[in-house]
Structure 1
Amino acid sequence: MATNNETAVVIVGGGVAGLTLATFLNTANVPCIVLERTARHRIEVRARAGVVEARGVQMFERWGLADRLLGGPVAETIDYRINGVGRVFTAVADDGIASRFCTQQMLVNNLLKELIDVRGGDVRFEVADVAIRNKEGSRPHVSFTDAGGRHDIACDFIVGCDGSRGVSRSSIPDGVLTKYTHEYGYAWVAALVEAPVTGHPIMGVSDDGFVAQLPRGPQRSRYYLQCPVSDTPEDWPDERIWNEIRLRLRDDSIQNVIVHDRDITVLRSVVYAPMQHRNLFLAGDAAHLVPPTGAKGMNLALYDVDVLAQAFIKFVQNNDRTDLDAYSATVLPRLWKYQEFSAWMTDTMHDAGDPTLQGNVRQMMARARLDALFENPVAARLHGEYQRGTA
């Protein structure tokens, strides 16, 4: 027998986008329920990338949550290396707002504590068989099963924050959304290792391919190594990972340490438009993917739910859905701007590397683009604004 619930907003997906949206709505007393297929303890240990950029810090400050959710300020620097020779780029700004170090795992854990443990928010974990009904002229419903049986929730709106393979987007009829996609033609091995970043985060190119090292907490970092899209994790044993890191960074002093896990990430850009259908709204990876080179995935998701939260509050308080209807038109211009930045970063960092892939002319043009960041103040400022999310 199904049990029934009722709320204003059902959020499908309890990752960074869904939990942030629920926390924002909770601050304004807008009722919502979050449905998450994974157990809470598994979410808490799931390592994800991200630094909350300056625009995101301003957003959390506006909601009165920055000090409770975010870590301390982080230097906005990148060590761009070419064949082992590094130059540190610093994003200079005059707005007084610094990005804060906060991986997705840290932010999600803080959101779980704030939303559930402090505020008593309604998050349903380990749900399955989620089904969405979003018909014209009738109130939306979301049904699901959990250990207590089958449940049905009537609501005013549904937000899909359940990623690129979730049920939310797939529930939208064919022909409603336009899919824009671009494949870059290469992938990354992503290796989580027991070694901190000892200096600045590294984005490196060499004649042997791309390599990056980014922080993942005080004792760990994640290395990224360019590889063919056909590679599998089994193609990259520990010894090969460390040999390639030393080769591409031109640094034989790097020691092998524990590799906790490795995955293959295929680089692509994807956008679905519009990002809404009737009373269903898509946010984060459910609506768009960016290549990780630009480090914008989490921050674009945060922008989506910030816009949505304000629109929901306006509707609840004033019965005005103007901003909800304009959601796609509001967020898509920014999304395309940062898709372009991520594509610029991806093409530059990979073209500047192995010349057998794109040729030595593309290699030298890409290296000239990197030189401009250190030689041209206009290029440096624009790059810094994109890095900080204020462009």
Structure 2
Amino acid sequence: MPTTEEIPVVIIGAGAAGLTLATLLDTAKVPCIVLERQDRTYIEGRQRAGVVDARGVRMFERWGLADQLLAGPVAQTIDYRVNGVGRVFEIAGDNGSEGRFCTQQMLVNNLLRELIDMRGGDVRFDVTDVTITDEDGQRPQVRYTREGQVHTIACDHIAGCDADRGVSRASIPASVLTTISHEFGYAWLAVLVEAPVVAHPIMAASDHGFVAQLPRGPQRSRYYLQCPLSDGTQDWPHARIWDEIRLRLNDDTIPDAVVLDCEVVPLRSVVHAPMQHRNIYLAGDAAHLVPPTGAKGMNMALYDVDVLAQALVDAVNSDDGSTLAGYSATVLPRVWKYQEFSAWMTDMMHDGGDPTQNGAFRQMTARARLDELFSSPVAARLHSDFQRGVA
């Protein structure tokens, strides 16, 4: 006969946001259960963009988790190119912890090991049919199916870390949420290849369109090529991909390499507010999306769960719900700062490319903004501060 478990917090989603939140709560002795629809092997191998910024590093240090989860110091650089001519921008920071390095995939794998293998945390993979009941005046319940059995968890708080199309935000009445979105009008062809970044990560504006190469492990990288929203992967055979990469980087010496995966990703920005309703609290992509140009998606999620974790600790351990009540109002100003930076980066790198997109005037003013990063100490410092997450 099905039974109902009881626990203070249920977290839906075992990506960077959900696993970080669960580890923070475990550190503070707040019991929680994490539900994830994929299996552990899939989560461990899933490729996601982003590097933990300086604010995120300080968060893990504050919670006493940096040594377990983050790697050592590394220089953070970007090779900004215009029609093949590159200039290396070094992200300026202070001495000490801000130079610690961790990609999203590295962080997720470290979190899985720390939370499950080292601490015995309760992460339940391969769950389906997750439903949330959160009626006014009643204790929330989360139901799910696993191995053919229906399970019910009664809880006090539900953290929705299940991305853009998950059940958490869908469980909040549409009349409660205001959705603000911006479509950039183009997409990226995201191509995972068996070829490392040989020097610095590349972000390039070209008369033929935007292209980037970013690391995805020691032997792999992901290329991003600007393309029309109407394109599908069938429009990009492997030979065309490599020809276009060489054209946009103005480098005929780049060899073909094995293409492991490709997909078309429309560039858009979205914010759903408020990020909480009754006992459901949204974090990460469940609450907001940014174009990947600014590499802020994961760091926005880490900021969310840092604030949410402390609020849940106050509510569960100290019976103080005041910080939890103010969760959405606390994090949304930072969300909009990250949105502004990501939109600025996206416009600069794409307007500065193919002039048929938005005209020669926008192209040249965007390139002037890029030049400022190398000629103006003020612009360089501001750019560094946003990249580091301290602006």
TM-score bin (small chain): over 0.9
Q: For residues 333-379 of structure 1, what are the alpha-carbon distances to aligned partners after superposition, in whole Å with 9 as ceiling and x for unaligned?
A: 00001100000000000000000110000000000000111111111
Q: Secondary structure at the match of 1:345?
A: helix
Q: For residues 159-192 of structure 1, what are the alpha-carbon distances to aligned partners after superposition, in whole Å with 9 as ceiling and x for unaligned?
A: 1000100010001112101000000000001111
Structure 2: distance between partners of 1:343 and 1:59: 25
Structure 1: distance between partners of 2:119 and 2:206: 50
Q: In structure 1, what is the equivalent of residue 121 of structure 2?
A: 121
1:93-132 pair list within 5 angstroms:
93-94=93-94, 96-132=96-132
* RMSD over equivalenced CA pairs, Å: 1.0
The CA deviation at 1:148 is 5.2
Q: In structure 1, what is the equivalent of residue 346 of structure 2?
A: 346
The CA deviation at 1:4 is 1.4
Structure 1: distance between partners of 2:96 and 2:112: 29
The CA deviation at 1:98 is 2.6
Kept in 2: contact 1:211–1:224 (CA 8 A): yes
Q: In structure 2, what is the equivalent of residue 167 of structure 1?
A: 167
Structure 1: distance between partners of 2:16 and 2:36: 12
Structure 1 outlier segments of 4+, above 6 Å = none
Q: In structure 2, what is the equivalent of residue 12 of structure 1?
A: 12
Q: For residues 189-213 of structure 1, what are the alpha-carbon distances to aligned partners after superposition, in whole Å with 9 as ceiling and x for unaligned?
A: 1111111111111000110000001
Kept in 2: contact 1:52–1:99 (CA 8 A): no
Letter in structure 2 aligned against 1:279: N
Q: In structure 2, what is the equivalent of residue 189 of structure 1?
A: 189
The CA deviation at 1:76 is 1.7
Q: Secondary structure at the match of 1:266?
A: strand
1:130-169 pair list within 5 angstroms:
130-147=130-147, 149-169=149-169
Kept in 2: contact 1:2–1:151 (CA 8 A): yes
Q: Secondary structure at the match of 1:156?
A: strand
Structure 2: distance between partners of 1:134 and 1:161: 17
Q: In structure 2, what is the equivalent of residue 222 of structure 1?
A: 222
Q: In structure 1, what is the equivalent of residue 257 of structure 2?
A: 257
Q: In structure 1, what is the equivalent of residue 205 of structure 2?
A: 205
Q: Secondary structure at the match of 1:188?
A: strand
Kept in 1: contact 2:49–2:292 (CA 8 A): no
Q: Secondary structure at the match of 1:98?
A: helix
Kept in 1: contact 2:50–2:103 (CA 8 A): yes
Structure 2: distance between partners of 1:95 and 1:9: 37
Letter in structure 2 aligned against 1:98: E
Q: For residues 132-165 of structure 1, what are the alpha-carbon distances to aligned partners after superposition, in whole Å with 9 as ceiling and x for unaligned?
A: 0111111111001101500110001001000100
Letter in structure 1 aligned against 2:388: R
Gaps of 5+ in 1: none
Residue 313 (str. 1) matches residue 324 (str. 2): no
1:336-375 pair list within 5 angstroms:
336-375=336-375
Letter in structure 2 aligned against 1:42: Y
Kept in 2: contact 1:164–1:287 (CA 8 A): yes
Residue 289 (str. 1) matches residue 289 (str. 2): yes
Letter in structure 2 aligned against 1:266: P
Structure 1: distance between partners of 2:148 and 2:2: 9
Kept in 1: contact 2:209–2:248 (CA 8 A): yes
* Residues paired across the two proteins, number: 391
Q: In structure 2, what is the equivalent of residue 378 of structure 1?
A: 378
What is the identity percentage for the equivalent residue pairs of Structure 1 and Structure 2?
A: 70
Q: Which moved more, 1:141-150 or 1:21-30?
A: 141-150
Taking structure 1 as the reference length, what is the TM-score of the superposition?
A: 0.98
The CA deviation at 1:103 is 2.4
Taking structure 2 as the reference length, what is the TM-score of the superposition?
A: 0.98
Structure 2: distance between partners of 1:36 and 1:141: 16
Q: Secondary structure at the match of 1:319?
A: coil
